[in-house]
Structure 1
Amino acid sequence: MKKIFLSAAAFLMLFSCQNDATETAPEASATLRRGCASHEVLTAQMKADPSLVLRMNKIEAFTEKAMLSGRLVNGKVEIPVVVNVLYRTTAENISLAQIQSQIDVLNKDFNAANSDYNSVPAAFSGVKANVGITFVLQSVKRRSTTTTSWSTDDSMKKSALGIVPTTPTTVLNMWSCNMGGGILGYAQFPGGASSTDGVVMDSNAFGTTGTVTAPFNLGRTATHEVGHWMNLRHIWGDATCGSDYVSDTPTHNTSNYGVPAYPHYSTCTGTPVEMTMNYMDYTDDRGMYMFSNGQKSRMAAIFVSGGARASFGI
């Protein structure tokens, strides 16, 4: 059994990750690659608040116990969503139709209703999951800003420049803004401060219409980031042959980009076929279309009584 209690140093090492934009200089390749800063943000939060390590260790212990008990969600979880739009240009002030298209994608992806769900290879058909979580758009808040692009310092969530989250203990807050720097989005994991809780996405990767641009034009950036918000790790564990704490996902040696041809073999022990079509990899939107049953159990565990997001109810 994997050990889930980590020292602060080990925890920081496990969850530190590089911005993809810094891995490959812009002039080196014209190919757009997914950039998720969730673990980079987590690293900064733990440096600022060492007690976060202890809180997340407790969440890991509770999650493992809940998964083993088999007593998870007894009914479908419905997540109210508030979308906070920060815009400097007319294009960044995304339409209600674009926002709703993102909610629609989340409802499809988390309920196995996405049209590409049946594209899951036979080797993984036994573990592909209907997570059974739905999302309802509660309201949209907008604010005009002079900020050209936003960093991962949570400034978009503060009253000085951005929009503060709405009742984050019972509402999923999402921010749409111009991220810049090759970052498509980032999420706060369970255990962080409620004042910064939620998911941030670039306006050009929000939904399926309006300002979205390929290859991130199918709304899967939000699916990936909401997965983090529900306590899912990157499928390669943010380390060479690392662990995502899920038993039914193959060990990946690193992240995958674009749309890898199947089967794509890992270089880790046993050379397993990688689940590159999993939402928690780094592939293009059209290359990701499944969660696993293990990931479903991990997400469900945060909503039960005593879970990190139990206030959302079951």
Structure 2
Amino acid sequence: MKNFTLKTIIGIILIMMSFTIHSQDRTCGMEAYMEEMLQDPEYAREYEESQRRFKQRLQEYLSDQDFSQRQNTIEIPVAVHFPEANEADRACLEVLAQNQIDILNADYSATNTDIATWNNSVSSLFPGTTAGVADISFCIAVSNHPPGLDPELIEGNPAITIGYNFGGGSPRDGNWAGYLNFVVRNIGALGFSPLGGSIALGDAVTMDNNAFGSNAVPGCPGSGVVPSAPYNLGRTTTHELGHFFNLEHTFNGDGNGTCGIGGDGIADTPEVANSTYGCPSPNAVASCLAGQVALTMNYMDYVNDACMYMFSAGQMTVAEAYITSNLVPALAQNVCTPPTPGFTLTANDSPVFSCPNTDTQAVFNLSYTTILDFAEMTTFSASGLPAGATATFNPPSLNDDGDFTMTINNIDATAQGNFTITVTGTSNSVTETVDVELNNNCTQILCDPYSSAQNLNIPIADGSGGSAGQPIASDVINIPNSSIIESMTVNVDVTHTFIGDLIVQLVHPDGVTFVNLWELDCGGQNDFDITFDDTAGTIACAQPTTGTYAPSNPLSAFNGLDAQGNWTIFVADFFGGDTGTFNDWTITICSEQALSVDELSLDKLTIFPNPNNGEFNIGFDSNSGEDIIIEIFDLRGRAIYSQRYNSVRRFEEVINLNNAQSGVYLLNISDGPQKVTKKIIVE
């Protein structure tokens, strides 16, 4: 959570523009990224603490106090994420990812083929500098994958996600803590990384889709991931990973540098005023030391991939000090060893809500997934049930991939409370468990929509050269009732002739917590009417762009906060030539609430059949004279059906849930002031 003022928020939007500028020369967004992130006091505190640990370990290394810890090769597990790629290209993307890992292993161990250039003809130009060798290795994880993130992330296969919206668009995702993460997408610049990344918090090195891997293997044009000259040897990833390992650039500035600042602070890399581009001769660029040339072939300069081929020994000492002091303690264990045959259990809807006053059953949906063609019959059981309850499974056992349900019976005989139920799968040779939560407190997740006026018609002022047009279009929705946010969605409707110019930002009533819903997406296409939902896929651009997609930054930043107060949305245009209007928007807040008592019951209400196959009838007498609203939510609070009907004296409708999965759902009926919530069961 970022605790910034609104003025700083607008500043962040401007800083982000540095990542969208294309250039023929190498670009690195590390400085801009760190400038933004260090404005967050919590991030700054984390960074200061990681640097303290690093400096202490580096001092031990330099004084040989900790030399014994440098003898065992450190294995770093890697996960690679392609949020904009196509699943059909998985085989190609896996080859490209492994190619990049092979390059990193060679570059960081000084076994790359072009290190011969240094050894044979260049090293003599640099007395006191030797090629650095890091005692580390990289491997793409193949086992114990984080569950529930990508349906194609199969045990035994490499940890490569396709279409998974890593971090909701941000370069940090706690789901992937313990891994060195590479995110490959279209960012304009070649790449960026935090200076001193965090494995524990799920930080990522972000790479452009034209600068990842080498042309030694085919690119993946169907997903737009194709290494492009002169950055087609995988060295941009080597460079950005250097930043993750706390290495600075070897130069003082990028065109405006001066001598005397100290360079990267490492003794065996000569200080140089400015970055070097292209492919210069080894002795063509002077350093700040008279008679000494610049170490332009170093991975932390800006030359073309073909002309960077070494780290110095001092740089690798810095990298190892950072790795051992900050990264090793958080590395995921035993994920690079291929798994043995077995199975996993996954809970698809936990927690489930129930109430002893109204329910007799609670149903959990689970999945059984085999590993490496495991075929033993596995039988399911449960422990940790509320006293008086029993559990039945359908089917009671499986020996192939499939879904199953656990029904908790006799809920009406149990006490209220939260219960952790352990589901166990037992075969001849393997036992696995998964925990689910039963919230037996007579509460439910309800989702309430709050909408702006229709046809706001707020002009979106034209921007210019990366500066937001003034005044910035904005609107406020007031949520009058207090509730703790469990999840939320936001719909935004904009008419604009170049939606790639826009950033849309939502600010919580506290004035400091914010989320960017839309960040310069979809280029020159027109208009969007999008519902932003963390559980949805990445934006699929069209003309106009409509549907439900994940926001640029996750809305979960608001989870746990009170929904009450004034929510503010900003729609800003950053480039000239196109304008538009902000039409309307809606916030839907999902929160845990007590089961409703029908203060005003509906006359002659009938719901049949119940249970049903997803199609059922609703009938009641209406006396309000107002519109009738039918809404249906799953037990996680996600709306699966919403329809408004004109007022009638007798309401009769057939509802079809369009192949809804088996389970329990909440039916909300609103007839003017009369509101009723009922449970329906789909079998």
Shorter-chain TM-score: what band?
A: 0.7 to 0.9
**Greater helix fraction, Structure 1 or Structure 2:** 1
Name the counterpart of 2:167.
158
| Amino acid in structure 2 at the alignment position of 1:119 | T
Instruction: Tell me the percent identity.
Output: 30
In structure 2, C-alpha distance between the alignment counterparts of 1:142 and 1:88, rounded to whole Å: 6
State the superposition RMSD in angstroms.
3.1
In structure 1, C-alpha distance between the alignment counterparts of 2:72 and 2:109, rounded to whole Å: 13
Q: Which segment is superposed worse, 268-277 or 286-295?
A: 268-277
8 Å CA contact 1:236–1:251 kept in 2: the answer is yes
2:117 to 116, 119, 122: 119
2:238 to 218, 223, 241: 223
Name the counterpart of 2:96.
98
TM-score, normalising length from structure 2?
0.37
| Amino acid in structure 1 at the alignment position of 2:195 | F
For residues 70-117 of structure 1, the C-alpha deviation after alignment (integer angstroms, 9 at most, x for no partner) is 224221111110001111678997621111110110111111111100
| Amino acid in structure 1 at the alignment position of 2:232 | N
8 Å CA contact 2:50–2:326 kept in 1: the answer is no
In structure 2, C-alpha distance between the alignment counterparts of 1:257 and 1:130, rounded to whole Å: 25
What is the CA distance between 1:46 and its match in structure 2?
A: 0.7
Relative distance call for 1:166 and 1:76 in structure 2 (3 A) is farther
Relative distance call for 1:289 and 1:142 in structure 2 (3 A) is same
| Amino acid in structure 2 at the alignment position of 1:259 | C
Relative distance call for 1:280 and 1:179 in structure 2 (3 A) is same
| Amino acid in structure 1 at the alignment position of 2:45 | S
| Amino acid in structure 1 at the alignment position of 2:48 | L
Residue-pair matches, total: 275
Instruction: Provide the secondary structure at the position in 2 that maps to 1:282.
Output: coil
Relative distance call for 1:274 and 1:59 in structure 2 (3 A) is farther
Name the counterpart of 2:275.
255
Instruction: Provide the secondary structure at the position in 2 that maps to 1:82.
Output: strand
Relative distance call for 1:264 and 1:60 in structure 2 (3 A) is farther
Name the counterpart of 2:33.
41
Relative distance call for 1:291 and 1:166 in structure 2 (3 A) is farther
Relative distance call for 1:42 and 1:33 in structure 2 (3 A) is same
What is the CA distance between 1:291 and its match in structure 2?
A: 0.5
What is the CA distance between 1:132 and its match in structure 2?
A: 2.7
1:175 to 178, 183, 188: 183
8 Å CA contact 1:85–1:142 kept in 2: the answer is yes
Instruction: Provide the secondary structure at the position in 2 that maps to 1:84.
Output: strand
What is the CA distance between 1:157 and its match in structure 2?
A: 3.7
Name the counterpart of 1:152.
none
Instruction: Provide the secondary structure at the position in 2 that maps to 1:240.
Output: coil
Q: How does 1:59-74 map to 2 (within 5 A)?
A: 59=53, 61-70=55-64, 71-72=66-67, 73-74=70-71
2:212 to 200, 206, 209: 206
Matched, 1:240 2:258: yes
What is the CA distance between 1:42 and its match in structure 2?
A: 0.9
Instruction: Provide the secondary structure at the position in 2 that maps to 1:309.
Output: helix
Relative distance call for 1:282 and 1:20 in structure 2 (3 A) is farther
Name the counterpart of 1:197.
203
In structure 2, C-alpha distance between the alignment counterparts of 1:215 and 1:160, rounded to whole Å: 27
Relative distance call for 1:266 and 1:287 in structure 2 (3 A) is same
Name the counterpart of 2:319.
299
For residues 51-88 of structure 1, the C-alpha deviation after alignment (integer angstroms, 9 at most, x for no partner) is 35633541453244133222242211111100011116
Relative distance call for 1:20 and 1:92 in structure 2 (3 A) is farther
Matched, 1:86 2:104: no
8 Å CA contact 1:92–1:178 kept in 2: the answer is no
For residues 262-297 of structure 1, the C-alpha deviation after alignment (integer angstroms, 9 at most, x for no partner) is 203335242521000000001110010001000011
1:310 to 322, 328, 334: 328
* Higher relative contact order, structure no. (Cα contacts within 8 Å, ≥ 6 residues apart): 1
8 Å CA contact 1:251–1:274 kept in 2: the answer is yes
Q: Unmatched 5+ residue regions in structure 2?
A: 1-14, 142-158, 220-225, 332-683
In structure 1, C-alpha distance between the alignment counterparts of 2:117 and 2:191, rounded to whole Å: 26
Name the counterpart of 1:3.
none
**Greater strand fraction, Structure 1 or Structure 2:** 2
Instruction: Provide the secondary structure at the position in 1 that maps to 2:184.
Output: strand
Instruction: Provide the secondary structure at the position in 2 that maps to 1:212.
Output: coil
For residues 148-199 of structure 1, the C-alpha deviation after alignment (integer angstroms, 9 at most, x for no partner) is xxxxxxxx6423789835443x31011011112xx11111222659545121
8 Å CA contact 1:179–1:185 kept in 2: the answer is yes
8 Å CA contact 1:20–1:33 kept in 2: the answer is no
2:74 to 66, 74, 77: 77
Relative distance call for 1:178 and 1:90 in structure 2 (3 A) is farther
8 Å CA contact 2:200–2:330 kept in 1: the answer is no
Relative distance call for 1:38 and 1:276 in structure 2 (3 A) is same
TM-score, normalising length from structure 1?
0.77
| Amino acid in structure 1 at the alignment position of 2:208 | D
8 Å CA contact 1:34–1:284 kept in 2: the answer is yes
Instruction: Provide the secondary structure at the position in 1 that maps to 2:137.
Output: strand
In structure 2, C-alpha distance between the alignment counterparts of 1:117 and 1:188, rounded to whole Å: 27
| Amino acid in structure 2 at the alignment position of 1:33 | D
Relative distance call for 1:270 and 1:67 in structure 2 (3 A) is farther
